[in-house]
Structure 1
Amino acid sequence: MAHSSHDVIVVGGGVIGCAVARELATDHDILVVERGQIATEATALAAGEITMTPLYTDNPSIADYANEFFSKYDGTGQFEFTERPSLELVPPDRKYEARKRIERLAADSLTVSFLKPDVVEANYPRFNLEEFVGVIKYQDTGFVDPYTLAMTLKNDAESQGATILTDTTVTDIRIADEHVNGVNTSEGTFDAPHVVVATGWRTEQFLRDYAQLPIRPYRTQCIVLDPIKAVSNEFPMGWIPGEHVYFRPERTGSLLVGGWSFTEDNPDSASEKEDEVFRDHVANLVPGFLRGFERARFVNGWAGVDGATPDTRPIIDAPRDAPDGLVVAAGFHGRGVMTAPVAATVVRTLIAGEQCPFPRDPFVLSRLNHDRQTSSSTVSVLVIEFP
């Protein structure tokens, strides 16, 4: 059986684990342990949207940090970041709330504006906004290919000396005197004073003996539609509050539509195929606001499981009640791809004792009422309002 010593062991080889490994490998001996292959679960099923700007309007420095990373990382290896604005379609019953939000965000100097339907249709002729009063337009957003991003991060980590171990299951964390000292795996024992657990929805179950994490698994879906006339290279991303869907263009001219996210009681056996009810919902919805999709061809679809917290923001923290040296990075609510550079930096500050360049408060476990039993309905019905 294998045995070796490292500075940090990262459990989980998705985009978060790869980003953490890359961030730490410059000055730490890193081992990543993945039970399957790199980025083949939630990461590979992600839509790849980078919409940190609308997600962190209360902490714009967090969004700025992520956006700057993706802009600079564009062109590394095979990785590409496609900048594209995002439109939040505003139905009549949300007009007042949208106007007030615009005023607040503009006062905070965010690049956001309200556009009336005729302006949107002039700029983007495929839109038909008869049922809407306008859109909120966000700049500083875009999309990536999640698998390519994860593999590029993984390659960078390896080039800096990180070791990636796949097809290896971590059976438990080794604890001595209330301090982490390594992990036991199906392939052997590995020593380290720091263990970072980034195993998606499985994190809560895996760490149940060490920390109470209010993370629940949920299932989300995506389909790709191919219209008779391809969408243009300038076609924006967007979402419709209340309809539980978001959309973005594919580089092929197709349209990816995702969402329909609800808690999943049986994540291990959850279907990886999109539901008929979701296909019908999209088929009825999309032609109502996009021209040329009345006879769009169904290309493919899929479904996947991720984990979410009650406030839909991740836990990236060293829980105070957990053994020293244990760091958690989970509960990303399907937003792990866009949050990966932020998560990696937070983990580094926790392990290296460095100052974080943005507020860590949105990610600490103590912000949540984690005294409630995590096996109960801490997240009962989960719906994505925006990606």
Structure 2
Amino acid sequence: MSERIAIVGGGVIGCAVARKLASDYEVEVFEKGQLASEASALAAGEVTMLSSYEDKPDIGWHAVDFFREYDGTDEFTFTELPSIGLVTPDREDEKRRYAARLAAEGLPVRYLDRETAREQYPTFDFSDHAGVIEHRVSGFVDPYTFAMTLHHDARDDGATFHTNTAVRNLLVEDDDVVGLETEDGRIDADHVVCAAGWRSREFLLEHVPIPVRPYRTQCIVLEPKSPLPEGFPMGWFPGEHVYFRPEHNGDFLIGGWSFAEDNPEGASGQADEAFRNHVADLVPTFLEGFEEAGYVDDWAGVDGATPDTRPILDAPADAPDGLIVATGFNGRGVMTAPVAATAVRSLITGEDAPFSLDTFAIDRFTTRSDDFEFISISAGD
């Protein structure tokens, strides 16, 4: 009989981990609501792993290779686009050196001066900028479609998914994980993977503290006067705490303005008026044809942050044996899902991962407190 694995959380991470394990283990996933109904479904779906892990390119390439290979599975698509970061004149020399260093290390990055950037991206107004940093390997996905495709693959390999099933407690005997207590009763398990987002800290606090705190982030979709042209890039506006990308129908998605959230259960699911006003004032300063852009939609969601903006993917030494923590993705859960799934499998099986797990180990933190300064990763600096 194969070992039993229980996964707490049916978001994109829980679904990715289930898919990675289901062919070799008895896997059950427990979600208090519907699959991918919270942070996963509200994500922007950007895949910028090479810029996010420029110091650990093997991690970034592992994710990119997965998305390229997974493209076309059922309804899932991975749309590759470059990402650009606007560069102010006072930072031009710094950013030129930055791009040259990364290019010398083999990463697909280059600096474009103002005139070259105008030719490459004519929809933009670079009057106030010296140029852009261009990351040539990035893209985006539809987060919900991605999560559900992972779910279907896991289910086809034998994983069982329990929705509308709250998990109350982690069950531990003699410092070993033995299962879960759900609202429907006890579930026996040899391993438990906690992929419960910002709720992971409270769920695990009795057994192992983890430095994760909730934060809230926002997105707005605008309809420009003319649909965005083919080849319109993804990108970010340093100093303004926003990122952006095109939609498939030519609309424009802009997100960011992330702040620590003290009341995550009661947080609004809509973008703040202040953010809407900020977007209305900012976008016409760097994009043509947005002075009279139409409003399409907006939303906000809550995710979990760590002190250094990278997730915890670990079996902590001070935790009960059999517990795996997969949380604190800082808004990068969708793009990091393939990496998380590989890391969790390695932790359970003892197989070597194709990248170092030290990057995600909990002992990199000097404190386990959740009282740390929140760092927004949408600043793009």
* TM-score bracket relative to the smaller structure: over 0.9
For residues 342-362 of structure 1, the C-alpha deviation after alignment (integer angstroms, 9 at most, x for no partner) is: 000000000011101111111
- Note if contact 1:171-1:183 (Cα within 8 Å) is conserved in structure 2: yes
> Which of 103, 106, 115 is the aligned partner of 1:106?
103
Larger deviation: 206-215 or 301-310?
Answer: 206-215
Give secondary structure in 2 for the equivalent of 1:384.
helix
Whole-angstrom CA distance in 2 between matches of 1:381 and 1:52: 18
Shift of 1:370: 2.3
> Which of 154, 158, 174 is the aligned partner of 2:155?
158
The residue aligned with 2:251 is 254
* AA aligned opposite 1:297: G
Whole-angstrom CA distance in 2 between matches of 1:380 and 1:140: 28
For residues 12-70 of structure 1, the C-alpha deviation after alignment (integer angstroms, 9 at most, x for no partner) is: 00000000000001111100000000000000000000000100000001000000000
The residue aligned with 1:92 is 89
The residue aligned with 1:77 is 74
The residue aligned with 2:321 is 324
* AA aligned opposite 2:262: D
RMSD: 1.2
Q: TM-score w.r.t. structure 2 length?
A: 0.98
- Note if contact 1:86-1:236 (Cα within 8 Å) is conserved in structure 2: yes
Shift of 1:383: 5.2
The residue aligned with 2:11 is 14
* AA aligned opposite 1:79: F
Structure 1 residue ranges, 4+ long, deviating more than 3 angstroms after superposition: 380-383
Shift of 1:6: 5.8
Whole-angstrom CA distance in 2 between matches of 1:237 and 1:158: 33
> Which of 186, 191, 195 is the aligned partner of 1:194?
191
Which stretches in structure 2 are left out of the alignment for 5+ residues? Answer: none
The residue aligned with 1:231 is 228
- Note if contact 2:241-2:376 (Cα within 8 Å) is conserved in structure 1: no
Whole-angstrom CA distance in 1 between matches of 2:188 and 2:20: 20
- Note if contact 1:91-1:134 (Cα within 8 Å) is conserved in structure 2: yes
For residues 180-225 of structure 1, the C-alpha deviation after alignment (integer angstroms, 9 at most, x for no partner) is: 0100101121111100000111111111111121111110000001
- Note if contact 2:7-2:192 (Cα within 8 Å) is conserved in structure 1: yes
- Note if contact 2:224-2:290 (Cα within 8 Å) is conserved in structure 1: yes
1:149 and 2:146 correspond: yes
* AA aligned opposite 1:243: E
Which stretches in structure 1 are left out of the alignment for 5+ residues? Answer: none
Whole-angstrom CA distance in 1 between matches of 2:58 and 2:114: 31
The residue aligned with 1:354 is 351
Give secondary structure in 1 for the equivalent of 2:76.
coil
Identity of aligned residues (%): 55
Whole-angstrom CA distance in 2 between matches of 1:31 and 1:380: 33
Larger deviation: 73-82 or 89-98?
Answer: 89-98
1:222 and 2:213 correspond: no
The residue aligned with 1:63 is 60
For residues 62-95 of structure 1, the C-alpha deviation after alignment (integer angstroms, 9 at most, x for no partner) is: 0000000000000001000000000011112322
> Which of 129, 132, 140 is the aligned partner of 1:132?
129
- Note if contact 1:212-1:370 (Cα within 8 Å) is conserved in structure 2: no
Q: TM-score w.r.t. structure 1 length?
A: 0.96
The residue aligned with 2:171 is 174
Shift of 1:379: 2.7
Larger deviation: 30-39 or 117-126?
Answer: 117-126
